Structure 1
Amino acid sequence: MPRQPGPDTGIQAWMQQQGWQPAPFQREVWQALAEGRSGLLHANTGAGKTLAVWGGVLDLPWATLSGQAGQAGKAGLKALWITPMRALAADTLKALMPPLQALQPSWRAGLRTGDTPSSERARQDKAWPQVLVTTPESLSLMLSRADAREVLGGLGAVVVDEWHELLGNKRGVQVQLALARLRQWQPALRVWGLSATLGNPQQALQALLPASPPEGIDAAPAPCLVRGRLDKTLVVDTLLPDARTRLSWAGHLGTPMVAALAEALDGAGTALVFTNTRAQAELWYQMLLQARPDWAGLVALHHGSLDADVRSWVEEGLKTGALKAVVATSSLDLGVDFLPVERVVQIGSAKGVARLLQRAGRSGHAPGRPSRITLVPTHTLELVEAAAARRAALAGRVEARCAPEQPLDVLVQHLVTVALGGGFEPDALFEEVRRSHSYRALGREAFDWALDFAARGGDSLQAYPEHHRIAPDAQGLWRVPQDTPTGRLAARRHRMQVGTIVSDAAMQVRFLNGPRLGTVEEGFIARLRKGDCFVFAGRTLEFVRVQDMTAYVRRAEGRKPTVPRWQGGRMPLSSEMADAVLALLDEAAADAAWHEPEMQAARPMLAAQARLSRLPGSDRLLVEQHPSREGHHLWLYPFAGRLAHLGLAAVLAWRLARLQPRTFSLAVNDHGLELLCAEPWALTEHELRAALSPEQLMPDLMASLNAGELAQRRFREIARVAGLVFTGFPGAGKSARQVQASSSLYFEVFQKHDPANRLLLQAREEVLAHELDLARLQACLQRLQSLPMDWVQLPQPSPFSLPLMVERLRERLSTEKLSDRVARALKAMGVQEA
């Protein structure tokens, strides 16, 4: 019979000593762990998830586990804690230590991430700690050790922290494969995930813990989902413009709100000010200091491109309460408690309910403390999005996250990892891989293709020895041959770039004869000339020169700078948020939405839209047309998000151009799309409906876009994960141009000589799924088929069309110079913002 937790058990006694009362969900997790069950704990941020799972792990009867779980009772690794960010590892370890020292005082704990010094890794190799905090990439590296089974086969428990952050990407697939390997070695292994802000926790549990046990193993206890929602007050409010402040309809940075935000922060304790992009964080940090120069040293900047020492200094300032405010990106979305943080601010739209809740939870990050997030609109439409976000958040309409399906680049990498880690027998590994959720439907033909690709590069690369990475030995086990120079080089290269995080090559930014500031993408630095200025790390810098992949700079005050644009900065509005916005617009059209303060503030703009045109709604499609000096404009408002609108605009332009040869300029945002044609053209509702048909979507989509270029760009990432492209050894890294040339060469070879190559097919599928949001685009077209159309010939551009016009004026980055261009364009058209 399993031990029944009581008030005298270790973790409960320890909590009582701290003056804490266990929550019911914590007791439920402790009971499940005592019964040998694995599971997923889904609970609010700050509810006590860490203590629930970690306390239960420490309270297990470890002295008796050796009989039921192989080596778990012996010295060495007993518990593994996987964190999604290596920057969080040290703080995570600190949070685990107090109960560890109280309940298992003989255990040692350590870190093993990409930041762990080689001397510390060498010490661990000689005598492993009982507890190890690591990342998905470092766990895969451990699986590539020749003694991987000896080191990891005795684990009794694995905890995957922040599972919602890993679930929807290839890093999550990497974790799935690693867990399948560990459970093969240790069928009684207890695996627990920690998660918050998920709309589909049951599916998240299935992705973490597929039900099927290893062959020949008695069925393990079924995984359980524990829901740990506490009665925690959530406050979502909006910083509204006052009577003296007029927000633009679109296209601006939000400068008019800076003074109001500074005033709001003045009387508060420590605050986190979140932005959606690193460029936006840099600019808002500058603007806050310009508004309040006396806050110098009290306001800090935090994002992933800053040097680790700078980030650590900021994080320590948050923990101690020494900082007034920190302007940050998602780099501070996750992590351990920052108890001094009283409130969170979101600049602009959060774009998703899950992101809003995750960030709100950074304030009041403890049971019983309220969480507050204040939304700061940067233009008028974001007032509507703010009200929609509050409604959706309080109603619990959180986005679902789904795991990728069968990414073969990750599988190829895993095959080489396992071949290094003791070798494998193909039939057994095929069954093991299929026990991970993402590969549950993997066919043997696809597995054998991946095996052949790892062994000889497939049909098109078999003549090149560097692609011969694995081979069967005399016993039939597939390994990386260590007795050949080619095999040793393959092993070294593989271990150098294990993982699925792929980004553009980054260059160090350093002062002349001074410290490092962080990293900027190489493509941005390549566009600079000596003497050009840019904003980075909260400073205005003058570019001096590039040497050894380092950009040397000096201070440059009082000069007009630009801002680096990092990849991945623009995220689409989620379906849940879009539905909430449309519901508010439906109420506004019925004159029933004005009790919301944000809607009151947006009322003049919405009234202007209704006067000039119609308000978009959930039960109709608004179509607007207008002739101007630029040409003939067509605007549609499907509210399907930026990515789906990109594909929709391209398909629509392609189909309409087949009716009569025309050239279109396209613009999209989260709410709608614009087609601009220089020549006059007549369009009937019948023609538009036909162009919006979901029939023949795939071929028209591939024909309308530069799908080859999109696929080639996606292939670069796939080639890097699959090990085709090597980014270089330390001190001899390849430039982004070199990596791009290498991947482009492979792409062209496969296109010409191996068009059925599965990595090529994967690249095309990922373009459709991730670059164009194909599923949402298909659903959008299906919905539009049944909607009536409100067709309006505009006397001048409407408030909703203006943001789309701004998208065409926008440079690659948004700076305040954009406002001048917008003003000139409006003046030329005779448009007055209401």
Structure 2
Amino acid sequence: MHNSPATPTGVASIQQPASSFHPAVSAWFAQTFGQPSPPQQKGWPQIAAGKNVLILAPTGSGKTLAAFLWCINDLLEQSLTTDKETFEKNHLGGIHTLYISPLKALNNDIEKNLQAPLTGIRETATQMQLDMPQIRVLVRTGDTPGDVRQKMLKRPPHILITTPESLFIMLTSERAREMYRTVKYVIVDEIHALCGQKRGVHLSLSLERLAHLCRKDFVRIGLSATQRPLDRIAAFLGGLTCRPRTSDFQTLDLLPRPVEIIDGGQKKDVDLKIISAVEDYGNLPDDSIWPAITEKLYGLIQQHRTTLIFTLMRAQAEKIAKRLNDWHRHQTRAAEELVQAHHGSLSKEVRLQMEDKLKRGELRALAATSSLELGIDIGSIDCVVQLGSPKSVSRAMQRVGRSGHLISATSKGRFFPLYRHDIGDLAMIARGMLDGAIEETHVPENCLDVLAQQIVAAVSVDEWNPDELYQLVRQSYCYRRLSRNLFDSVLDMLSGKYPSQDMRELRPKISWDRVNNRLIGRRGARQTAIMNGGTIPDRGYYGVYIAGTNIKVGEMEEEFVFESRVGDIFYLGSSEWRITSIEHDRFWVTPAHSERPRPPFWRGDFFYRDYETGLRIGEFRRQVQERMSLPNVVEWVMETFAMDRWSAENLLAHFAKQLDSTGALPNDQKIIVEQFYDEVGDPRLFVHSVFGGKVNAPWAYALQNKMEELTGVEVQSQFDDDGFILRFIDTDRPPSLEALLSLSPEEIEERNVKALTTTPPFATRFRYNAARALMLPRTTPQRRMPLWQQRLRAADLLQATRKFDDFPLIIETYRDCLRDALDLESLKRVIADIQSGKITVQYVQTEVPSPFTGNLLYNFLANYMYDFNEVRLSQHARALEVNRELLHEVLNNGPVPAIISPEIVQNAEQYWQYRDHQRRARSTEDLLEIITVLGDATTEELRERCDEKLEDYLKQLQEQGRITLLDFQHDEIAPSKWVS
């Protein structure tokens, strides 16, 4: 029996790692697999020794079994000293092994896949005449039925499979959290998909809360595809141990938990090719690439048993699936579908049906977004197709790696450019995949919105000393640098420092007893945290349900619903639907058929190229430009960058036209500033910059701000991965190049701080952050808040807190924009390189825009097409006011209704005076809030605002030193009053 992970009965040798396993485990493994794979061979001894490990290996290398098998073995060893019935019912405690993955679908696969070794080991034990107990495995996600959840509380599983969000909910549940006190191993799968976003930040704090609950360190096992830097991902997994150096906790000694990095050392063979669907992108048949793409793809699908088609957008997945099915019916007259669209806006049931059809061979292909990037079991995939540029090498490797699932198989990827400019991006990505040159993973730090949510959750189940909670938070890798001032500012926000009389969102979620230095949960705080937990933003989607049933097909964006009418026919999930009715949060549909159904759309996040990838694209352009005059340049491009002849010829033709227009190609060492005039004579500047959207966006914001200041005219801007455009309204004077280049790195940051609040991303991210911080909570789990209402509430909250320069959510939104959404540090590097001469700037004036401007000019036109309908308001514009009498006259609506009725006044008074039944005191914290907000009050006045136990509450608060009774002994008229 293993008493702890640090004291195993034996440690497996590297040569024969199965030798120290339980005999049944060792025999089963030898019969089933023979020899361990490298991640198993290297990982098992470290896990057996109780060490934290990060296992790096490609898909199909056995890394999941490398994580689980020793945990299973440890459970079997434990069972040898326990009565069989007691062990199987798990009466001794709670969860032994916790498995966390970012996808619910992946959890279901893991549960199924675990049954094979568990069943096999039991059968092997029976053959060996050994009595093996049953190890119970359960899944707990948002889809788990309520009765299963209740049974789980009474009889915890030995192995629990869950998501980061469900872990958070259970740690915040009074009963469910008790199951976790016995956790010995924690497996975090697909850790690379978590650590670069706020979802990973959230998980890192949950793991520290779990460690605190267990009162001892568990073994942390991370599983990752190819990522870098490995030491950063390992540090994220391990977190830190924390010891206060001073009594006030201002100085802490932070010691990283050791994590062994297990590099599987295996690199899968890849077969890559960039394929152009047309001979000349400048002369498209029918002015569209899609017919040619459809025909090429159809041929590719026919050549393979199963094909996975990746797109960047859900609407694109729906579009290509429909086109392929229409083409298939036209070619074969068959009624069955060849392809279906698979994405996150389809219901779980619909996606599972598609995955099962693909595994059974009833579907030849799926057109998917990132919903199938991770390791969901969809059977054997022969070929992966990528439509357009995936924007990064790591994303491309993840997607192409879905084919050839076994480690010995070759992964086959085919990239289809959607337009000519895609070819260069795809060439660099293909070369990067062949060279293993993946991008660096960045971990967000000091996210105050996530911190606020986790503080409310932690304090709602336990009282905390603020110093000790600060210590716990600092143990997360993501908060190791968090200052005490920032931590305290979040406590201030949550405990009601900011005026909340006019904003219910600012009402306190916790109490901060500064007299006794305690943090105490307020009434309803735990429920609020559970109902609004997690970091995935609410996009305001409407559910799509089949009329007359409760079957959900998927969900659509609010804007699509607003533009729809009853009777409209649209397609979703490769099926066509007629809208029969529309409600406040869903609409009902019936199957239908139409020759021209309406395509769906979603406004999801867009991927931007990062700085590192931009540098490689710039280097690629330099290499090609240097060889363009050589006779064998087409063959060199084809061979070096894995593309067919049409792709190479289109690429070189595109580059040649750009050279004719501007005299050079923008690259990693050259920026081209192109000036031309638009149709109405307004000057435009196009800055050709390869450094990616995260660099070009803050550059555009800063220059827009400076140009408006210098010229006194309105400047419009837009950016993409290859540059940004500035349009100067109502002037024929172009700005000077000196003004463009005179920005210093320090000025860049200052101007972005000034400009950001007027940009749409700032308002959107503030809304997301406010929701994560529980400032825009849902009040009931079944009812979603409409997106328009979220926007209004977020805008009101932003307006109300704008005057507080220390309000944590405004600080977080700046941090979010400047550090996560934008890459200000890389932009400063670019500016410094321009000033040092390392990057040269070439200024050109063109009669017509150069070829490289095409994509951004098209998007610019689409963005500003309806700008004339918008009232342009200054940054300090106030809300419009309207005379109600004149409004009545113009509308001719009869008598003007009273603005405020007596009933509204009475209800408002009851509410704000805490006489409303929902606001009456039901705890000491409620009563303290009443005394603090309303001021001094007599016992009788408080009795009107407290349901019961008033004397008990007053006594507790007085004993804690948080209130006192003012007794006016010399004034016979004045009554005694309680004050805080």
Give 1:213 shift: 5.9
Q: Does 1:139 align with 2:167?
A: yes
Q: Does 1:707 align with 2:784?
A: no
Between 346-355 and 460-469, the greater mean CA deviation after superposition: 460-469
Q: Which has the larger radius of gyration?
A: 2
Match of 1:818 in 2: none
Picking from 66, 78, 91, the partner of 2:96 is 78
Counterpart residue number, 1:380: 420
Structure 1 position 543, deviation (Å): 4.3
Shift of residue 247, structure 1, vs aligned partner: 6.7
Counterpart CA distance in 1 for 2:772 and 2:445 is 16
* Partners of 1:198 and 1:27 in 2: CA distance: 21
How far is 1:524 from its partner? 2.7
Distance, in Å, in 1 between the alignment partners of 2:509 and 2:777 is 13
Say yes or no: does 1:97 pair with 2:115.
yes
Please identify, of 110-119 and 511-520, the stretch whose mean Cα deviation from structure 2 is larger.
511-520
Contact 1:633 1:675 in 2 (8 A): yes
Q: CA deviation at 1:388?
A: 0.8
Q: Distance in 2 between matches of 1:173 and 1:619?
A: 36
Which residue, 460, 478, 488 being the options, matches 2:499?
Answer: 460
What is the rounded CA distance, in whole Å, between the counterparts of 1:322 and 1:43 in structure 2?
A: 31
User: What are the superposed Cα offsets for residues 456-490 of structure 1, whole Å, 9 maximum, x if unpaired?
Assistant: 33232389699343347999864435xxxxx1x33
Pair 1:425 & 2:443 matched: no
Alpha carbons of structure 1 residues 155 and 39: separation in structure 2 relative to 1, 3 Å: same
Partner of 2:814: 764
Shift in Å, 1:229: 3.0
Q: Is the contact made by 2:673 and 2:842 (CA closer than 8 Å) also made in structure 1? A: yes
Contact 2:281–2:420 (CA under 8 A) maintained in structure 1: no
Tell me which moved more, 318-327 or 466-475: 466-475
Distance in 1 between residues matched to 2:812 and 2:661, nearest whole Å? 46
Distance 1:186 1:372, change over 3 A: farther
2:740 maps to what in 1? 688
Report the more deviating stretch, 338-347 or 441-450.
441-450
2:220 corresponds in structure 1 to 191
SS of the equivalent of 1:341 reads coil
Q: Residue 939 of structure 2 aligns with which residue? A: none
| Pick aligned residue for 2:717 from 646, 656, 666 | 666
String of CA shifts for 1:427-470, please: whole Å, max 9, x gaps. Answer: 3222121111111122333323333433x332323896993433
Matched, 1:111 2:151: no
SS at match of 2:851: coil
The answer as to whether partners of 1:353 and 1:576 remain within 8 angstroms in 2 is: no
Partner Cα separation in structure 2 for residue 331 and residue 194 of structure 1: 19
Deviating more after overlay: 325-334 vs 430-439: 430-439
Asked if 1:48 corresponds to 2:62, the answer is yes
Partner residue, 2:912:
none
Correspondence for 1:401: 441
- Flag the 1:219–1:771 CA change in 2: closer, same or farther, 3 A: closer
Tell whether 2:56 aligns with 1:4: no
Pairing 1:249-260 to 2, within 5 Å after superposition? 254-260=290-296
Assess, with a 3 A threshold, how the Cα gap between structure 1 residues 560 and 181 changes in structure 2: closer, same or farther: closer
Matches for 1:238-253 after TM superposition, within 5 Å: 238-243=274-279
Q: Which residue of 2 aligns with 1:827?
A: none
Q: Any idea what the Cα deviations from partners look like across 1:327-370, whole Å, max 9, x if unmatched? A: 00001111234332111100100101110010011111122111
CA gap 1:12/1:361 in 2 versus in 1, 3 angstroms: farther
Residue type matched to 2:727 in 1? L
1:482-561 to structure 2, matched below 5 A, reads 487=523, 489-513=524-548, 515-530=551-566, 532=568, 534-554=570-590, 555=592, 557-559=594-596, 561=598
Q: Once the 2 structures are TM-superposed, how far is the Cα of residue 214 of structure 1 from its aligned partner?
A: 6.9
Does the CA-based 8 Å contact 2:417-2:426 persist in structure 1?
yes
Q: Which residue of 2 aligns with 1:800?
A: 852
Q: Which runs of 5+ in 1 are unaligned?
A: 482-486, 814-834
Decide which of 361, 368, 371 is 2:411's aligned counterpart.
Answer: 371
* Contact 2:544 2:555 survives alignment (8 Å): yes
2:976 alignment counterpart: none
2:373 corresponds to 1:333: yes
Aligned partners of 1:164 and 1:198 also within 8 Å: yes
For the aligned residue pairs, the C-alpha RMSD in angstroms reads 3.1
CA distance in 1, matches of 2:600, 2:349: 22
On the 8 A contact 1:29/1:56 being kept in 2, the answer is no
Distance 1:793 1:522 in 2: 43
In structure 1, C-alpha distance between the alignment counterparts of 2:505 and 2:323, rounded to whole Å? 56
The match for 1:726 is 777
Cα-to-partner distance string for 1:211-263 (whole Å, 9 max, x where unaligned): 436789999983211111314201221122354876769x9664432211111
Within 2, Cα distance between the matches of 1:264 and 1:241? 12
1:274-285 alignment to 2 at 5 Å? 274-285=310-321
Residues 585-624 of structure 1 aligned to structure 2 (within 5 Å): 585-591=621-627, 594=634, 595-597=636-638, 598-613=647-662, 614-624=664-674
C-alpha distance after superposition, 1:41-80 (max 9, x if no partner): 122222221111112322337646999xxx9994421000
Q: Return the offset for 1:278.
A: 0.6
Aligned to 1:203: 232
Residue 174 (1) aligns with residue 174 (2): no
Seen in structure 2, the aligned counterparts of structure 1 residues 537 and 230 have a Cα distance that, compared at 3 Å, is same
2:153 corresponds, among 118, 121, 125, to: 125
Distance 1:60 1:320 in 2: 36
**8 A Cα contact 1:286 1:538, kept in partner:** yes
The CA distance in 2 between the partners of 1:457 and 1:248, in whole Å, is: 62
In structure 1, C-alpha distance between the alignment counterparts of 2:284 and 2:725, rounded to whole Å = 20
Count of residue pairs brought into register by the alignment: 799
Whether 1:303 and 2:340 are equivalent positions in the alignment is no
Structure of greater relative contact order (alpha carbons < 8 Å, 6+ residues apart): 1
Percent sequence identity is 28
Matched, 1:580 2:616: yes
Is the 8 Å Cα contact of residues 241 and 475 (structure 2) preserved in structure 1?
Answer: yes
- Of 60, 65, 83, the match for 2:74: 60
Counterpart Cα distance in 2 of 1:602 and 1:805: 20
Aligned partner of 1:590: which letter? Answer: E
Deviation at 1:92, TM superposition (A): 1.8
Structure 1 residue 97: Cα displacement: 2.2
Shift of 1:535: 3.8
1:565 alignment partner in structure 2:
602
For 1:441-460, list aligned pairs within 5 A: 441-454=481-494, 456-460=495-499
Q: 1:117 to 1:676 in 2, by over 3 A?
A: same
Query: Aligned partners of 1:550 and 1:378: how far apart in 2?
Result: 34
Are 2:191 and 1:163 aligned? yes
Q: Aligned-pair distance for 1:93?
A: 1.1
Does the aligned pair in 2 maintain the 1:241–1:247 contact within 8 Å? no
- Asked whether the equivalents of residues 252 and 379 of structure 1 are also in contact (C-alpha less than 8 Å), the reply is no
| TM-score (norm. length: structure 1) | 0.89
